[in-house]
Amino acid sequence: MKTSIQVTQSSMPSFEEYTEEIKDLWDSHWLTNMGLKHRQLEEGLSHYLNVPFVTLFTNGHLALENAIAVYDLSGEVITTPFTFASTTHAIVRNGLKPVFCDIKFGDYTIDTEILENLITDKTSAIVPVHVYGNVCNVKEIDRIASKYNLKVIYDAAHAFGVTVDGVGVGNFGDASMFSFHATKVFNTIEGGAITLRNASIGKTLNDLKNFGITGPESIEYVGGNAKMNEFQAAMGICNLRHVETEINKRKIAVERYKERFSGVKGIKLLQIQEGVKSNYSYFPVVFDGYKMTRDEVSEALARENIIARKYFFPLTNSLECYSEKYESDITPVAKYISERVLTLPLYADLCLKDIDRICDIVLGI
């Protein structure tokens, strides 16, 4: 049996680098509650992401839930269903109604030409997704949000380190959520962050992730517990030192895939958008009119112990937990893509020999 290839593999510092980083925790005994490592990582990320404000969370999902909560929204929130369940769940768990907008064929982000038609007098926010690290049409979203006085909270879980014309993606909208889950380009084992263009709401966001505690004897908000601990932050400090190298290694892998698949009829690859510095976070392939269906390709890979993911299938508007409420037919482009897309293995240490093995199977060689 050939060795298995997972869809992703977590980036890790050397064992020595991590243990050196956590050593002083045995002196301080300060393991969580916004300790030194937490502060160091926030500073490092603010610099790397080129944003004025970063606050860390124990995971990306709770970061998003809190970013939505901090604006005290009501009614309806426009979003897309071509995403991980977390995006929709974060809206629903805040007691808000998700209104699903379709995506664009080109880059799978929210279709701003349809978005405006979905706005009603109940709409309070837009939660667009920079899916696969593709950047939404931020200018048009900004224009619409200002016109209707809506908040914009980006799900930037996939977009760590992405820039548009040199501007860090975390500067767009009112807030952006990044995921630092083990499978992401940059990880803190589990983790996440919110970046804000305007730091004025930052203090409340910090309080919300810590039970709403605002002082030694005052709790002004009904907050939860979503703090990142020191061991997670230490992993982040180490991984941040190597993230550029990791992204460059991913780029080499992506270029090999592209070389092998370019010009093949029925295989559609992700194009890097103009002005965008990509983080090469995913390698989604759309099989449309190809000699094998997406499911057949996935099965052929699985027979060789290679795990690809139907990311994102099903759409969130057809998940069991929402099946009574929404219809995937209202977002036909998202439905079309989700039935044909397969995310192939991609991680920094994926070697060219393994990529060739994957490509041979996909190409039926």
Ligand X SMILES: Cc1ncc(COP(=O)(O)O)c(C=O)c1O
Tell me which residues touch ligand X (CB under 6 A).
Answer: 59-61, 83-84, 86-87, 129, 155, 157-158, 179, 181, 192
Minimum gap (Å) between residue 358 Cβ and ligand X: 22
Minimum gap (Å) between residue 159 Cβ and ligand X: 9
Minimum gap (Å) between residue 168 Cβ and ligand X: 18
What SS3 state is found at 328?
A: helix
* Residue (61 or 294) nearer to ligand X, CB: 61
Nearest alpha carbon to residue 178 among 55, 278, 90, 83: 55
* Residue (137 or 232) nearer to ligand X, CB: 232
In angstroms, the CA 223 to CA 212 distance is 4
Minimum gap (Å) between residue 282 Cβ and ligand X: 9
Minimum gap (Å) between residue 178 Cβ and ligand X: 8
* Residue (192 or 202) nearer to ligand X, CB: 192
* Residue (59 or 317) nearer to ligand X, CB: 59
Residue 224: CB partners within 8 Å, gap ≥ 6?
Answer: 62, 65, 66, 208, 209, 211
Strand 163-164 to 167-168 pairing: antiparallel
* Residue (234 or 267) nearer to ligand X, CB: 234
The dihedral over CA atoms of 20, 25, 27, 31, expressed in degrees to the nearest 10, equals: 180
Nearest alpha carbon to residue 209 among 97, 59, 50: 59
| Beta-bridge partner residues of 194 | 55, 177
| Residue nearest ligand X by beta-carbon distance | 60
* Residue (91 or 362) nearer to ligand X, CB: 91
In angstroms, the CA 360 to CA 345 distance is 14
What SS3 state is found at 59?
A: coil
Minimum gap (Å) between residue 351 Cβ and ligand X: 25
What SS3 state is found at 73?
A: coil
Q: Which two tokens stand for residue 185?
A: 């380009």
* Residue (228 or 267) nearer to ligand X, CB: 228
Minimum gap (Å) between residue 109 Cβ and ligand X: 12
* Residue (170 or 256) nearer to ligand X, CB: 170
Minimum gap (Å) between residue 163 Cβ and ligand X: 19
Minimum gap (Å) between residue 87 Cβ and ligand X: 5
Please report the sign of the dihedral spanned by the C-alpha atoms of residue 102, residue 136, residue 239, residue 198. negative
In angstroms, the CA 177 to CA 189 distance is 16
* Residue (53 or 82) nearer to ligand X, CB: 82
Which residue reads 């510092």 in tokens? 13
Type of residue numbered 114: I
HSE (side-chain half, CA atoms, 13 Å) at 66: 35
In angstroms, the CA 359 to CA 253 distance is 12
